Structure 1
Amino acid sequence: MSESSQSRSAPVGVILAVDPDRFAEVIEAAQRAGLTVTSEQPILGTLSGTIAEDGIPALKAVAGIESVDRDRIIHLPPPDSPIQ
């Protein structure tokens, strides 16, 4: 395999805040930028999905996208664990 065929970075989860008045239009533009939509919350003006790490700058440039945050997992200790 050549380096050029491996140029795409691994997909990462993202959460987007978008203009709720243009929700459908923004989703289409985000998909053209490389986003795979996994969840839509039109009333809240948010959606989540995955995109290659190197595609995030193009996603941030889409008109109507107000913010792009990487999806993160936070692990909490069990309720019965001692205070740390």
Structure 2
Amino acid sequence: MSRTPGAAEPAGVVGVILSVDPDRFADVVEAARRSGLTVTGEQPLIGSLAGTIAADRIPELAGLDGVEAVDRERTYQLPPPDSPLQ
């Protein structure tokens, strides 16, 4: 499934960023995919993995061997440059 950047995720699906053991990166990626993660970005040298998953599957993802942390992606919308809030 491809999506346009900035498009809303399907209901119940959230973006996550995982910190994983860089020495076991490939194995962790495969296990995360089996747990339901749709991988959207990989940075194996620093042990970072991004993707989307159903919110109720995050605990399972966090419990995978080799996963050090799971954080939900956060997005921020700045006001336009001509906004009085600038």
Instruction: Give the TM-score normalised by the residue count of structure 2.
Output: 0.78
SS at match of 1:74: coil
1:20-35 mapped onto 2 (5 Å cutoff): 20-35=22-37
Q: State the distance in 1 between where 2:71 and 2:36 align.
A: 16
Structure 1: 5+ residue runs without aligned partners? 1-8
Q: State the distance in 2 between where 1:50 and 1:57 align.
A: 14
State the shift of 1:36 in Å: 0.7
Q: State the distance in 1 between where 2:40 and 2:56 align.
A: 19
The runs of 4+ residues in structure 1 deviating greater than 2 Å are 75-84
Q: State the distance in 1 between where 2:46 and 2:84 align.
A: 37
State the shift of 1:43 in Å: 0.9
**AA in 1 matched with 2:19:** A
- RMSD of aligned C-alpha atoms? 1.7
SS at match of 1:72: coil
Structure 2: 5+ residue runs without aligned partners? 1-10
Count of equivalent residues: 76
Instruction: Give the TM-score normalised by the residue count of structure 1.
Output: 0.79
Q: State the distance in 1 between where 2:49 and 2:78 align.
A: 25
Q: State the distance in 2 between where 1:10 and 1:79 align.
A: 32
Q: State the distance in 2 between where 1:51 and 1:78 align.
A: 31
> Over alpha carbons, which structure has the higher Rg?
1
Deviations 1:9-60 (A, max 9, x none): 6210000000000000000111111111010001111010000010001001
1:26-45 mapped onto 2 (5 Å cutoff): 26-45=28-47
